[in-house]
Amino acid sequence: MSPKCIGFIPLRKNSKGIRNKNKKKLLGRPLFTWVLTEAIFSKLDEVFIFTDDQEIIDYVDLHFKWSNKVKAVLRSAENAEDSSSTEDAILEFCTKHTNKFDIFCLLQATSPLTKREDIDAAINKLNSEKLDAVLSVVRTHRFIWSDEGKPLNYDFKNRPRRQDFNGLLIENGAVYCTKKDNLIASKNRLSGNIGLIEMHEDTLVEIDSETDWKIIEQLKTSNFKAQKSSKRIRYIVLDVDGVFTDGRVTFNKTGEFSKIFDMRDGMGLEILRQNDVKVMVMTSENSEVVAQRMKKLKIENVYLGVKDKFSFLENICVEQNIAINEIAYIGDDVNDLSNMLRVGWSFCPANATKTIKFHSDVVLSKNSAEGAIREAIEFIMNYNLRF
């Protein structure tokens, strides 16, 4: 039987550097969800969010219930103080909640550039090389000096070229894997015979300040855009409010009453389906009006109440073996941004938010509920002819 591996993501409610840091939206998603999503799709058997923030626990319980890997556990207040260490949180978890694991993998939400491949590499190295612990590092080619003005890693009289300089390995704080017996005995994330995995040099940036936040946003945006490639569009994913509708809604005393849709969009989607492009609708609202409209349009793949659209779409892609570059996405606001950055083609209506228009591959000439979807469909039909 293979060893049971669990992921552990500790979060504190009150962060000092950036207020409510773990819940703050990075490219439209709460910060902690970036590493959580990668953990879900890694070789980890279970992933635990350990936090004193009930709002985060409720969010995980509601919006990650599609994954049987994820569990949110309440962290005690005394182990969530400014003076509390990560080791304090780890030991509380192992003592009070569960020790039914063989390998413990500590992951940090402040390292949102961590990928599932990094997590898997650490687990594989721990097992294959019979180590006691593994941590992630970054190789830097910077020249290091002491306070006394002494060079620590090179001879300044014979300054090496970058290609001839091996550099230094620096702990980046992203991934730590250890065997349970060593963790319990040492009360430390690292002990015994320790191995290293190298991560990309960009991952040296951890989010501790607003400047770090801006750097990470730019890195993630650039990485997504660099991975785009041209493929035939086989799927289209659409938001609802601000895409199908003009974003307005009427209410009566019982709640939501009506939304405005454009009939021509429905005809366009029917034509698109006839040309072997599958249609998916994904919205953060749980609306009966939307459900009825999509039923009328005969759209089968309708997902209501999806707050974390990025991880939800990732799960669909994994389960159905869909390449992300085969997807077109139409969105209008920041909760669509992370998906729009990574799909094959992204579209937005002319009246989308400024941020979305800046990052969208195509800014449509039509407003939402005024022919925007139909315009995007015509683009996709013409684009697919080349394939």
pLDDT, tens digit (0-9, with 9 covering 90-100), for 18-72? 889 999 999 999 999 999 999 999 999 999 999 999 999 999 999 999 999 999 9
One-letter identity of residue 384: N
Residue 37 corresponds to which tokens in the numbers above? Answer: 């999503």
Q: What is the pLDDT of residues 349-374, one digit of tens each?
A: 999 999 999 999 999 999 999 999 99
Q: How confident is the model at residue 17 (pLDDT cuts 50, 70, 90)?
A: confident
Lowest mean pLDDT among 104-108, 162-166, 169-173, 176-180: 162-166
| The pLDDT of residue 219 is above 90 | yes
Paired tokens of 71: 């569990």
State the burial class of residue 150 (Cβ atoms within 10 Å of its Cβ: 0-12, 13-18, 19+).
exposed
Point out the least confidently predicted range of 145-159, 259-273, 274-288: 259-273
- Alpha-carbon gap, residue 360 to 244, rounded angstroms: 17
Q: Cα separation of 53 and 74, whole Å?
A: 8
The Cα 15–Cα 81 span in angstroms is 10
Mean pLDDT, the chain, integer: 94
Ranking 74-83, 136-145, 203-212, 228-237 by mean pLDDT, the lowest is 74-83
**Overall average pLDDT of the 225-253 stretch:** 89
pLDDT at residue 211 is higher than 80: yes
pLDDT at 230 over 90: no
Q: What is the pLDDT of residue 10?
A: 97
Query: Do 26 and 217 contact (CB within 8 A), yes or no?
Result: yes
Residue 273 phi/psi, 5-degree rounding, is -65, -35
Q: Does pLDDT of 139 surpass 80?
A: yes
pLDDT for 253: 66
Lowest mean pLDDT among 13-22, 124-133, 169-178: 13-22
Whole-number Å distance between alpha carbons of 47 and 54: 17
For the chain, what's the residue count? 387
CA distance 117 to 175: 11
d(CA 59, CA 230): 35
Domains and CATH numbers, the chain: 5-226 (3.90.550.10), 235-384 (3.40.50.1000)
> Residue 157's pLDDT band (boundaries 50, 70, 90)?
very high
Query: Three-state secondary structure along the chain?
Result: CCCCEEEEEEECCCCCCCCCHHHCEECCEECHHHHHHHHHCCCCCEEEEEECCHHHHHHHHHHCCCCCCEEEEECCHHHCCCCCCHHHHHHHHHHHCCCCCCEEEEECCCCCCCCHHHHHHHHHHHHHCCCCEEEEEEEECCCCECCCCCECCCCHHHCCCHHHCCCEEEEEEEEEEEEHHHHHHHCCCCCCCEEEEEECHHHHCCCCCHHHHHHHHHHHHHHHHHCCCCCCCCEEEECCCCCCCCCCEEEECCEEEEECCCHHHHHHHHHHHHCCCEEEEECCCCCHHHHHHHHHCCCCEEECCCCCHHHHHHHHHHHHCCCHHHEEEECCCHHHHHHHHHCCEEEECCCCCHHHHHHCCEECCCCCCCCHHHHHHHHHHHHHCCC
Q: CA 314: distance to chain centroid?
A: 9
Q: For 243-264, what is each residue's pLDDT tens digit?
A: 999 887 777 767 666 788 888 8
Q: What is the mean pLDDT of residues 170-195?
A: 97
| pLDDT the model gives residue 265 | 87
Residue 171 one-letter amino acid: E
Answer whether residue 222 shows pLDDT above 70: yes
- Please give the pLDDT value at position 2: 87
| Tokens, residue 23 | 């819940």
Tokens of 285: 């609202």
Higher pLDDT residue, 83 or 277? 277
